[in-house]
Amino acid sequence: MFWQRMYEQFGEAYAQSLAKDYVIEGLGSRTVEGALADGASAKEVWRAVCDAFDLPAAAR
């Protein structure tokens, strides 16, 4: 579900790049991949992505 939402919002290629390269302060200055690897829940990571990119409420 997490990756499906990422792909819907950003497109597959950009979602993968964002997850690998974009450091999100709300994730403790980690990337999406780093936060997930460290055991953060997909829900927590998705909320941080929504906040960082100011996604609309419907996407949350």
The domain ranges of the chain are: 2-59
Q: Give residue 57's pLDDT band: very low, low, confident or very high (50, 70, 90).
A: confident
Q: At what angle do helices 2-10 and 12-21 cross, to 10 degrees?
A: 110
pLDDT in tens, 2-32: 999 999 999 999 999 999 999 999 999 999 9
How many Å is the Cα radius of gyration of the chain?
10
Q: Residue 39, Cβ neighbours under 10 Å: how many?
A: 7
- The single residue listed with the structure tokens 């909320």 is 47
